[in-house]
Amino acid sequence: MSHDTTRDKRDSQAPLRVAIIGGGISGLAAAYHLTKPSTNRPPCKVVIYEATDHLGGNAYTVQVDLGERRDVLLAQENTATDDPAPARPFTRWADLGVDDFNLDTYTHIAAIMKDIGFTAYRPLEDTASFFTRDGSKVLTADNELRHGASNPQVRIPKALDEAYQAFMRAAAEAVGCPHYHRYTVQQFVDEYRRKHPDVATLVDTLRDDLLYPRISAMYFVDDSGPEHMPLRAVMNYYILQEGFKSGAKQAPSPKRNYFVEGAESWIRCLAGWLEDNRDVSFIRNARAEVRATAGGARVSLPPQAGLRGNPPAEHFDKIVMATHADDALRAIREGVTQDIADILGRVRYTSSLAVAHTYAANLLPADRNAWRTYNVTIRKGTAMKPYRMTYVMNRLQNDAAEWVEDGPDGHPEIKTGPYNRFGLPQFFVSLNPVTPIPDEYVLRVIRQPGQTPGGYAKHFSEDEQRLPGWHAIDEADDRASTWFKHNVLDFNCLDAQEMLDSAQGGDHDNLYFTGGWCKGAGLHEECWLMGEHVAKRVFGEPGDDTHCFDPKATSDADYAPRGRRRPELSAGSRKKSRNQTVRRASMAGMLVISPASRASLRRDRSSERCAAVSPARPTAARARV
């Protein structure tokens, strides 16, 4: 990367001006770390451009209408009526996207919550039910059941549970070994089965009824099926989100918590704190276009309705792209190097539909007593449509929760949430529901005037609308549903993550990247760590990567150091893939390649043409074979 002489010439107290494109958790994390006071850094002024009208990205909370609430206790609060059970409108919040975190493993998120004074979270009930739609099989995971009865007839048998826990401990240990760096889930399952023939039948059962259905319900899986996912991608999620550890003698008991009033309450608290305590400002509904050249970094916005001409471009010292990889490629009009285009082009996306409703048929076990927090369908065959799950919101966000607070006399008291009352409606959130939900069962959203549905519904491009299952959601639609984009965490994406650090800064040390696609599975803890990492890179400091694969010294021929290995493609194939990515973007008018990169690209194209008309001669080694 070229050295940043601009900062050397600037007065040491002049603020570094940084634009962050994207107001999700990754953008907020970058803003927090960029503006953190330090005696070794210049002060920093940050402007965050968000394309939608809400911050938080996939943290999306809605207020839903649950009808009229009738409760005899309300009469005690309203003495003006003689009605023994007065009625009043009853609303409830629900998260359609991000909805919980693990307090044990989200150590950085826990620290920042403490720092900004956010305490509005409570323990959820971490239970699961695995079932077939025809009702022939139901298995409940009840180790964390707080309220209700655990039926031995449907509870996961002890032998199967022990086999599952042993398998998961082995998988958690394996991802730290370079030998398994390129393993798929299926490869590891097959190897584990060969090494443990005494439990082969149990391994088959846990694979088909627990493991594959659960992986298919992870947001970063695509239609290729759970068996083809990278082992380390899946286990990274299990370790961070669900607390699995290598060498553990007991089943994990993660401290999973939900956000009181929804995940957006945490996002609002963080954004408000940044505005009040740091030099951070926000511009919403801003479809920013970025140019990062030797002359500087600029952010421009499209023409505004009712105004002539374009809004003036804003000049910055640095730009941080905190968006999806494909959105970044579209937004950057100048400054994309070949390496950046190659990295961004490796990341694929899929879509998911989230719906809040009261319809249980085919989406939950037929036996209501087997309903759990997370309800996953068992489907035969490995090529299953991914990311299908139904949450019982009364268990996920409040109803089954208990916590301890100091009472009026100073003694601890057990508390339960205000929604924990007999007779109040049960409702659900389904992700990619396996059967259509009748419209009369879909909950309605209560919005403030002028508020749009949120999510990314109205901002999907024509290419994105070709994603599986797409249908448009109108701005006037009041149904509690929305679409989300998720990057597919395949080997190409993992390779892009490993390659990214060497491309940070671009040709002119003024273009950087962060986001859910940049680190692990894009959980909030990983996004926060990536925000810290990119802030260090902006200031020219070495970054660290505490949650990425940590290779050990090895002579394994299948392993190469991180950042250098691109295993799927040969050198010629990589070059072809990179050039195709750049050409597609250039033809669409999305970006401008720097002169140096364009000259290199011409050389690459010339080499490709020569290869096309001049068949390569076999090398001596190939001839010997």
pLDDT of residue 44: 97
Helices (H), 245-307: 263-277
Angstrom distance (rounded) from CA 187 to CA 109 = 34
Closest-CA residue to 501 (of 546, 562, 452): 562
Closest-CA residue to 15 (of 38, 35, 45, 39): 45
| Whether 310 and 198 share a structural domain | no
| Whether 460 and 439 share a structural domain | yes
Q: How many CB atoms lie within 10 A of CB 71?
A: 16
Q: Are 530 and 518 in contact (CB under 8 A)?
A: yes
In a domain, 596, yes or no: no
The residues, ordered by sequence, that sit 6+ positions from 583 with a Cβ below 8 Å of its Cβ are none
In a domain, 253, yes or no: yes
Which ranges of the chain have pLDDT less than 70?
1-13, 71-86, 304-310, 381-387, 398-404, 414-423, 448-476, 544-625
pLDDT of residue 403: 60
In a domain, 17, yes or no: yes
Look at the alpha carbons of 283, 327, 44, 59 in this order and tell me if their dihedral is positive or negative: positive
In a domain, 176, yes or no: yes
pLDDT tens for residues 284-339? 988 999 999 999 999 998 876 555 556 788 999 999 999 999 999 999 999 999 99
| Whether 181 and 197 share a structural domain | yes
pLDDT of residue 421: 60
| Whether 389 and 480 share a structural domain | yes
Q: By residue range, what is the domain housing residue 20?
A: 5-56+263-348+489-547+559-573
Helices (H), 243-320: 263-277
The residues, ordered by sequence, that sit 6+ positions from 255 with a Cβ below 8 Å of its Cβ are 102, 103, 104, 123
| Whether 363 and 449 share a structural domain | yes
Q: Are 179 and 556 in contact (CB under 8 A)?
A: yes
In a domain, 581, yes or no: no
In a domain, 65, yes or no: no
pLDDT of residue 578: 45
| Burial of residue 122 (number of CB atoms within 10 Å: 0-12, 13-18, 19+) | middle
Angstrom distance (rounded) from CA 407 to CA 415 = 10
Secondary structure (DSSP) of 446-486: ---TT----TTGGG--TTGGGSTT-----TT--BSEEEEEE
Angstrom distance (rounded) from CA 260 to CA 120 = 5
CATH code assigned at 565: 3.50.50.60
| Whether 391 and 248 share a structural domain | yes
**611, two tokens:** 């290869």
| Whether 343 and 221 share a structural domain | no
At 231, is the secondary structure helix, strand, or coil? helix
- Domain end (from 487, 502, 535): 487
What angle is formed at CA 309 by the lines to CA 305 and CA 315, rounded to 5 degrees? 105
Task: For residue 220, give the DSSP letter.
Answer: T
| Burial of residue 293 (number of CB atoms within 10 Å: 0-12, 13-18, 19+) | middle
| List of E strands, 246-363 | 256-259, 280-283, 289-293, 296-300, 314-316, 318-321, 332-334, 349-357
| Whether 125 and 161 share a structural domain | yes
**315, two tokens:** 């000049």
In a domain, 62, yes or no: no
| Whether 410 and 399 share a structural domain | yes
pLDDT of residue 245: 78
Angstrom distance (rounded) from CA 538 to CA 333 = 20
Rounded to whole angstroms, what are the CA distances from 292 to 33, 45, 300, 500, 539? Answer: 22, 18, 12, 17, 17
Angstrom distance (rounded) from CA 169 to CA 175 = 10
Which secondary structure element, helix H or strand E, spans residue 289, and what is its range? strand 289-293
**590, two tokens:** 């999305």
Q: Are 18 and 34 in contact (CB under 8 A)?
A: yes
pLDDT of residue 166: 94
| Whether 341 and 355 share a structural domain | no
In a domain, 610, yes or no: no
User: How many domains are there within the chain?
Assistant: 2
Angstrom distance (rounded) from CA 124 to CA 146 = 9
Amino acid at 279: D
- Domain end (from 487, 510, 537): 487
| Whether 188 and 268 share a structural domain | no
| Whether 392 and 428 share a structural domain | yes
Q: Are 487 and 348 in contact (CB under 8 A)?
A: yes
pLDDT of residue 616: 34
What angle is formed at CA 15 by the lines to CA 110 and CA 10, rounded to 5 degrees? 140
Beta-bridged to residue 316, according to DSSP, are: 297
pTM of the model as a whole? 0.81
Closest-CA residue to 530 (of 556, 550, 557, 501): 501
